[in-house]
Structure formats: C-alpha cells, structure tokens
Structure 1
Amino acid sequence: MAENDWAQPAPEMLATARKRALGALQSQDAARKLARFYDTKTDYAGATIATIGHNAPDSIGADDLFATTLLSVDVPAKAARLLTGNGDTKAAVSSALRALPLGPLEAVDADGFAAMEVLYLHVKRSLAKASAKSSNPWVVASKLCARKRPDLFPVRDNVVCRLLDVQRARNFRIDWLVFQALMNDAEVSKALSSVRSAVEAQADDSVVLDTQPLRVLDAALWTSVHMS
C-alpha cells in the first residue's frame, strides 16, 4: 500500500483538531473530569474498558463484547455469535488481529494502517444488525477495536469526532490520520502528559488511569464535552 492510496486530512482540518484537542487538555477542569471518568467509585467505564476480563491478542471473546457495551453501545446477538463462535468470521478476525502492527498509533506506517483497516472492516461488517436493511455500526466497531488495541485504535465516537470537527469527512481513514497527527504533536503530547500528571497528583487510589496515552486523549476529549 502506498502512502498516497489514502486521502490525507486537509491542513485546516488538522489545525482545527489540534486547537480543539489542546483546548480540551488545557482546560482548568480537564484533570477533574478525567479523574471522575477513571474513578472506580463511579459508573464511568474509563478504568474498566481496557482491563476487565480476558483480552486475547488474537481473538474476540465474550469479555471483549461485554467491555465494549460498558461504553454505552449494544452488540447484536448475531454479531456476538459471529465474532465468538467457530467459523469464517472468527478465523478472519483472528488473522487480522495477528497482522496488526506492534507499535502504537503514532508509529504506524502505511502497511500498518492497511492492516488496521482489514480488522476494522471485518468487525464492522460482523456488527451489522440482521433486522436492518441498512446498518452502519461504525461507532461500535471503533469501540470494540479500541478494546482490543487501545494503543492503536481511537474510539472515535460521535462526540469526539464532532469536537475535533472530523465528522464531516465521514471517513475512518481520515479520523485515524488526524489522531495520529495529534499523538505526534509535541504540544499535544506535553499537554496530555501534564493533565495526566495532575490527575495522578490529585486523585486517590480509586482512580485508575489508562496506561495508553491514546485512550487518555480519547477520554479527555470526550469528558470535555460530556461532563460539567
């Protein structure tokens, strides 16, 4: 796969996403909101989505589906059977998981993005509702992929995509490239480390932060919109 096989985000889109990400991370309330999202005494899923149950590196299991539903989405029964039962779908997903790049999103090259796309599309097709004539479960697919590899796949739900103003592209490839640019931006990385340090300095033992910076960025963006 060549680099130019994928359309690149427009410079103004990258600039807007960067400005809004920095605004979320540098807000006076950012640390407080993150701490609440990762507080195990609350009903927020921050401390649980990546760690609950068993997360096999080369298959999707019931624990993965349950963890994904904690992010306020449903997994159709047919999809659960396809993804966890023996058959062509499970085999294809397992192969795609094994082919993923080993590094985090900020280090992914063109071949790595191609491998990510294979998994994402397999998962997305599997999650389509059997009763719907047209089904586009991109949010659920993104959350399930993020559960499997929280260092690689951004959650990219409607809230975060609207905040970064990437939803108008309607293109997961663009979203991934925007997130990669944010993760490679020195000022964003500094702000992310700063807010993480603030949470760790202020919070008690009930707050369990993600180990992956990409997930913390996702959480900071989401909480900047959804928490007062």
Structure 2
Amino acid sequence: MRTNTKYIDIYTQIKYDIESGKYPINEKLPQGRILAEQFNVSELTITKAINLLVQEGYIVRRRGSGSFVKNFKNSSITKFSPLTGSTALHGDKVTSTIIGFSTEAPTQYIADKLGVDKESLVYKIIRLRTIKKVPAIIEYTWMPLAIIPGLTTKELETSIYGYISKKLNLTIKSAHIKVAGVRPSVLEKAYLKLKDTDFLMQTEQIGYLDDGRIFEFSIASHIPSEFDFETVLIANDHD
C-alpha cells in the first residue's frame, strides 16, 4: 500500500516560501481552499502540511482569523535534541522485553497520528524497558512500514532508533510530546508490579524525520522514580 506523502511536499514548499520571504512575517497565509486549488489537493492535505509548520514554529493559528507567519527569525522553538531513545540514554543498564510485535492496518486514531491512510500497514510494538534491573517503562509504538521497513525482534531488543539512523540512514529530527500523569492499566500493573492506587508518568510522542515525515507515534508509561524529562530550547540560526 502506498502512503500519501503529498502533504510533505507542500509543507516543504510553504516552509521554503516563508524562509525566502514570499510570505512575510505576520502575514496571513492564503485560505486552505485557495492553497488546495493551488497545489491541486484536498483541504485535508493542506491541513496536514500546515500542522507540521505550526509544530515547527513557523505558523500560528488565530481563532476566527486564519493562519499567520510567526517571527521565526527571533523565536525559540522547543525541540528534543537528540532524539536517541532509552538505549543511548542508559547504555547497557537498559534491557528490553518484547510483549507484542505485529503488523496490522491502523485504527483511524493511529492513522491520523501517523499521517497515513487506514489501508497502510504499520508495526505495533509493545515493550517492557527495564532500567538497572527495575521494570520502568511500558512502551506502545506504531511505525509505518513504508518509512521504517525491515524491523525484526533484534532491533526491538536493542535500539530501534539506532536501526533507523545507522541501517536505514534516516535522520530523526524532532518530536511533539505531551506528558500526563495516569493510573496504570491491567498490563502495566502486571509488568511494572503496581497497584491500583499507583500512578505513572505517560508521554505521547509523534516523531519526525528531517524531511518532515512522521516515523513514529508512541505512548510510554514510566514509573515516576525513573522519569526524567528535559527539553532544550534552541534559537533559530537566522541573520
């Protein structure tokens, strides 16, 4: 099945138009309908492209007014650098146990998160991450086969991110991450040895490659004692 990545081309073009000054800072972008006609695509495809630009800090949506170019030259955009995964962070102190590994058609929710259609195949991966011999994280990960082909249990037991960068020669660029405190599920209580009254720190992550493609949607449930979340604010390098 072919993944529709037309929105990536549009995202790249609009980003270039913004950086080159075709769309000046604080100027309103053309309406989605007009952009859709210009690029000969649906308005949904335009929305996907604009969403990437919003997440990267190039565009801001103003309720009732439309989408406007942000002052990206002087702004600080939240980035997660480097995106390397638990193995690179903890080294040989982390081990992985595969709970589930399958290839399947995604639900509509997962398809929307990955920016693919429901007919595209994705990996569904569930892993227990043990840090310093302490069961610490349950990871639920979905990845499009079209972007990350050839995954095996070997990569799941070591480092998926290492496989992506070293074997597939792809560059992991950025992520959108949401953090919340949650109660454990039945599976999490069993593997992390928790009670109903315990809680976990849960991260939802959408990962992007340097070409703007989404390569991962993941949900990771961490025990609080092993949860250390840090972001780096990096100013854009523009004259």
Q: TM-score, normalised by structure 1?
A: 0.29
Say which one has the larger Rg: 2
Bigger fraction of residues in strand: 2
Bigger fraction of residues in helix: 1
Q: TM-score, normalised by structure 2?
A: 0.28
